[in-house]
Structure 1
Amino acid sequence: MKKKLLITSMMVIVYSLFGMSVYAEESKGDQTNSINLADNAKSAILLERDTGQVFYDKDAQVKLPPASMTKIMTLLLIMEALEQGDLKYEEKVRVSERAASMGGSQIFLEAGEEMTVKDLLKGIAVASGNDASVALAERIAGNEKAFVKKMNQKVKKLGLENTKFQNTTGLPAEDHYSTAYDMAMIAKELLKYEEITKYTSIYEDYLRKGKENEFWLVNTNKLVKFYPGVDGLKTGYTNEAKYCLTATAKKDDMRVIAVVMGAGTIKERNATISGMLDYAFNHYETKHIFDKGERITSLNLLKTERKNIEIITSESISTVHRKGEDTKNVETVITLDSEFTLPLKKGSKVGMLYVKDGDKTLSKTPLTVKEDIEKASYLTLFKRSVQKLANSR
């Protein structure tokens, strides 16, 4: 890989990736209307995670009840809180009367019980616990209503136009809806936090192990056991929604997301997802470029407490192409903002990384700061001024 550095009003770094295979499509893949992979579902979509390239689409923009797939957004906000340090895995959360009273799927929390964030997260990811979802929502936002507001704010931030949440669980509620496409995009965002699959891939485990109220967790997504590479994400069912599933699987370097909504039976839902995954892995492959959190460059800023600022990728970056296709040349173009408002919190966006094939942009990924960046103190600025004077003599 060759590097070339250009400077304009922004900093731009161009990486030429010679010999790298690339496959670019419109937002709907070239096969979306010519194959039938989801005859037994109302809506479905299949896409590659890193690029977002759609391989298959059946009525993916139709608004439908998402049932417990709602918890993908709940999990996303939980993982964000953990990443930002607002929540700790080993922190114990006290369960409220309201959280303990939730119906449907649950891990049978009791009012006043204390459970670690890690175990509550496991209860959501594996057993689809409504009580665990509300308990963590209350911990993060104070109450479920405030948390739902955060969910809908995140929907808007992701640019999704056909999703609206009324609760954290997916229990039936008026004006609570999403689409296969939006669910896939929320899942795509959640999978930026790669550790989530450590939980969603668990097939069985225990909570309160060894105690009288020990609870056996069994994953509602049976494909994590029966389809190689599946390690998440979330099932859903209500009488109105029927059988739904947002699944993800990884083979070699390629991770795909498949969503099915409104299947008639569990068997049909699982068979449809399996067929979609088979199609993706049989016909496509990816070339990996960068890992999540990989250092891209650094900046030396005079007005920050720490002078050397590391710039990293916010998620993994790849290209995708059909198997057997001829390779093409691509490049990554990195633009960094020319001005920064201090302080910067860990994860703050400071630029973009574009994967390009000529004039065509294949993907774009935010670049972020690796750690909190504080404004330099007067003492630090004074020391630097003195050092600069000494060096100029």
Structure 2
Amino acid sequence: MAGIAGMLFLLTGIIRIPVQAEETSGEPENLYARSAVLMDADSGRVLFGKEEQVVRPMASTTKIMTCILALEEMEEGETGTVSANAAGQPKVRLGVKEGEEYRLEDLLYALMLESYNDSAVVIAESLSGSVEEFADQMNEKAREIGCRDTHFITPNGLDAEDAEGVHATTAEDLALILRYCIRESPEKEAFLAVTQTRDYTFTDVSGKRSFSCQNHNAFLDMMEGALTGKTGFTADAGYCYVGALSQDDRTFIVALLGCGWPGHKNYKWEDTRKLMEYGLANYAYRKIGTDDMKAGQEDSLKIPVENGADPEDPYKRGTVVRASAKDPESFRLLMRKDEKVECRTEIPDALAAPVKRGDQVGKICFLLDGKEVGSCKLTARESVEAYDLGTVYHALFPEFLLGQ
């Protein structure tokens, strides 16, 4: 930040931006899932959470990470050879045999449509050399995405434990991973293409064996705008699900962990519908921007400039510079009807001369629930030269000539 004497900022005020109060539907109650999240896919903001940061096993929802890593790493037409480890994976499995060769792209459909455990291992070993190395890549990617409490051990989500803990995540982290898959990854379109496919057939490379896969994500037919999703189940994890829906330019992600055990397979669909309907009924985009600041607030943003030359008094050392918002266009934010945004101005105690017009001298932060959801720069509206003998000379020289 040009010309700032110190990094300590003064909070010059918090202004609440009023939002017309409207009746809202109550938050979802009586969810079956032990952990649940409803997330805004555009911002990554958690709109509703139930034990959303509690670490739990996530079963085959793991495979969304396996899929997106494979899409980002594999070469076009790349193949993989089945190892004894891959062929020995437990059900649910494709039934590959040691020594067979498969196109990795084909195995992604077996992975995501049928949730085959052996397909995941073939992919992992082919791309990284071993399941352990691939798991390291999964964990590295999770950290890049912003996951704080996720630990991958296997590419298929089978219950596992190592020296660092169990194979597990949180509902919030799981939602963030799916957000990456559909919003941020360079292969997001390919991810959606795979996970939205209803039926897929393929053969091994030799053409001797053929396979057919059907998509088991029932959510795709449950609600208008359903985008993608992945189910999961293990004895430790229970039924799990992560899915996304898009309607009216809004995209929501639901993540569920521990959503019932055998005998209650449909609990995850009930919870998913309840959370999605809550999001659709209560959240809409609103425009937020500097127009929402109090009238005249910017005019009051004057920052002292130490050792600055006062343009109106050449003998005076020290002056002020006015600050105003740069690029003050509004931005959109998905908000509940009764939520309010706060506008906070941050400026330094003082600036050091010289200051050029257009230099950033602070910022305006927009806060929701105490968290920053947007900002714009505050820039100097005029230049201020440093006070020195040269400044005084140039200011007085015209007067000297006029006096001759």
Fold equivalence (TM over 0.5): yes
Q: What one-letter code is carried by the residue in structure 2 that aligns with 1:129?
A: Y
Distance 1:355 1:103 in 2: 55
Distance 2:27 2:44 in 1: 19
Aligned to 1:221: 217
Aligned to 1:368: none
Aligned to 2:113: 126
Cα distance, 1:163 vs. partner? 1.5
Aligned to 2:169: 178
Q: Structure 1: 5+ residue runs without aligned partners?
A: 1-6, 10-21, 25-30, 82-86, 289-316, 330-353, 365-393
Cα distance, 1:184 vs. partner? 0.9
Deviations 1:349-380, CA, capped at 9 Å, x for gaps:
xxxxx99648974159xxxxxxxxxxxxxxxx
Aligned to 2:148: 161
Map 1:1-393 to 2 at 5 A.
Answer: 35-37=27-29, 39-81=31-73, 87-174=74-161, 175-191=166-182, 192-193=184-185, 194-195=188-189, 196-208=191-203, 213-264=209-260, 265-286=264-285, 319-322=333-336, 357=366, 361-362=372-373
Identity level (%): 28
Distance 1:213 1:223 in 2: 31
Greater Rg by CA: 2
Conservation of the 8 A alpha-carbon contact between 1:237 and 1:243 = yes
SS at match of 1:266: coil
Distance 2:119 2:111 in 1: 6
Deviations 1:221-276, CA, capped at 9 Å, x for gaps:
21112322222221110122111101111113221110111112221111110111
Distance 1:358 1:35 in 2: 22
SS at match of 2:258: strand
Distance 2:107 2:203 in 1: 11
Aligned to 2:399: none
Distance 1:240 1:248 in 2: 24
Aligned to 2:328: none
Aligned to 2:299: none
Are the structure 2 counterparts of residues 98 and 283 from structure 1 closer, same or farther at C-alpha, using a change threshold of 3 Å?
A: same
SS at match of 1:64: coil
Are the structure 2 counterparts of residues 23 and 162 from structure 1 closer, same or farther at C-alpha, using a change threshold of 3 Å?
A: farther
Q: Structure 2: 5+ residue runs without aligned partners?
A: 4-16, 288-330, 344-362, 376-404
Distance 1:110 1:92 in 2: 15
RMSD over aligned CA atoms reads: 3.5
Distance 2:81 2:201 in 1: 19
